[in-house]
Structure 1
Amino acid sequence: MALSSPSEQKESAAYMTHNDIRDLVKEVIKSELKTAISNMSETLTNELRAVKDEMRNMRDSMSFINIQYEEIIKQNNINSEIIKNLQSEAVDMRSTITNLNNRINQIEQATRANNLEVQCVPETNGENTFEMIQKIGNAIGYSISESSVTHCIRTAKINRSSSRPRSIVVQFNSRKTRDSFMAAAIKFNKSNPHDKLNTVSAEISNIKRPIYITEHLSPANKALHAAARSRAKALNYKYVWVRDGRIFVRKDDGANYNLIKSIDCINKLV
């Protein structure tokens, strides 16, 4: 066009119709869109690649977590089985220990078969415990000789702060002698309900204090006896007694007796 004359340029320009302009615009738009789409596609590709990488990392993390979780579940199942076995063993051991304690208690009680415990006898310096037992025997009408007693001694206090005198444990030479002495004491108290065995009637002291004669219980049975008396008192039980190392309670004269073998038996009293 630069080589053409002005008249030729005007003539050529006259031939640029609306269709030509529209086509030219289309070409420009198409070119721009292609460039824009290319740029957008590259951007999306990069972003999708980043998302894929992130998803791959998440998948790897989830896979690792799942493996760890499976290991935890597996170990938990193993631990649960171990705990179950230990609990079963603990139950067996508790049962065994209970049985052993019962057997030990029976043996301890059996060693006391010839013994009586005399409570609340005042203590004095240089005292002769056998002479005190002789005086008690004379008071209840059952005389005893030195040959009928193999051992006679004060016991240690369980509660050292208590002002109550230490008990005297008497070991007789036979079960029969022990039972006869005990029967005489029971008979005396029944015959003298208002003046039961005491320090004055036994000529042990001028100050009147009651004297109690009981079977010599093992430590376990003594604790059980104390618990039974406390529970019976709270429930207004009329009778609590010991026979041959066994503890009994009875609500009243018309009720059946209950044998107290353990704390569970006491807790079931109503």
Structure 2
Amino acid sequence: DFRTEIRELRSEIREMKSSMDFINAEFEGIKNKLTSGVAVDNALKSENEELRQRCLVLEKEVKEHRRSIVQCEQHSRAYNLEIKGIMLNENEDLYETLRRLGEEISEPIDNSDVEICHRVRTRELSKQNIIVQFLRREKRDKVLAKARTKRLKNTDLGFSTNDPVFVNEHLCPTLKRLPGKASA
């Protein structure tokens, strides 16, 4: 009977050893997967940091490009004025309207001073602004300075309404939005 017990004990020890070997193999597999997962995690963290740094550089470049575009857009408008509030009339002669505006502000505007003059759409179709491109910036600046000192109205220019007329620099869309952003 003693031998039977020893055999049973040996059998149990073998089963335990087999179980321990299985558990050890599973543990080693899990340990390898964990090591591999940590390596992948570290690689992803490193790649993420590189991408974050690259994104910061690209954001800075985009900001510089936007600034450059705004400067180019504004430079292309350096000879321009924007006139707001002048009534829209059929068969209008914008050059004649400019001539009358020049008389009102005591700064004559001849056709030879103007490269081009046209209306541009606004949100309200009945109130289209006038864009004037002068041949010389000096002339544009004189007209702007004198127009700012006088409160112009449509009646001053021979129109029937008493609505105000505003003469401003022709700002690019980005710069036009700045005053609104500053007050918000």
TM-score of the superposed pair, with normalisation by structure 2: 0.89
Counterpart check, 1:148 vs 2:148? no
CA distance in 1, matches of 2:137, 2:175: 19
Larger radius of gyration: 1
Matches within 5 A, 1:143-222: 143-157=108-122, 159=123, 162=124, 165-188=127-150, 196-204=151-159, 206-222=160-176
Say if 1:44 and 1:151 are closer, same or farther in 2 by CA, change over 3 A. Answer: same
CA distance in 2, matches of 1:164, 1:49: 98
Counterpart check, 1:117 vs 2:72? no
Secondary structure, in 3 states, of the residue corresponding to 1:142? coil
Greater relative contact order: 1 or 2 (C-alpha under 8 angstroms, separation 6 or more)? 2
Aligned residue number for residue 63 of structure 2: 98
Contact 1:120 1:164 in 2 (8 A): no
Q: Unaligned 5+ residue runs, structure 1?
A: 1-34, 189-195, 232-270
CA deviation map 1:144-174 (0-9, x unaligned)? 11001111111233x4xx4561211111111
Give the total of aligned pairs.
184
CA distance in 2, matches of 1:95, 1:83: 18
How big is the alpha-carbon RMSD for the aligned residues of Structure 1 and Structure 2? 1.9
Say if 1:129 and 1:44 are closer, same or farther in 2 by CA, change over 3 A. Answer: farther
Aligned residue number for residue 181 of structure 2: 227
CA distance in 2, matches of 1:89, 1:101: 18
Cα displacement (A) at 1:42:
3.2
CA distance in 2, matches of 1:163, 1:152: 18
Q: Unaligned 5+ residue runs, structure 2?
A: none
Counterpart check, 1:73 vs 2:38? yes
Aligned residue number for residue 41 of structure 1: 6
Question: Percent identity over the alignment?
Answer: 24
When you count helix as a share of all residues, which structure comes out higher? 2
Counterpart check, 1:134 vs 2:89? no
CA distance in 2, matches of 1:44, 1:208: 114
Contact 2:114 2:132 in 1 (8 A): yes
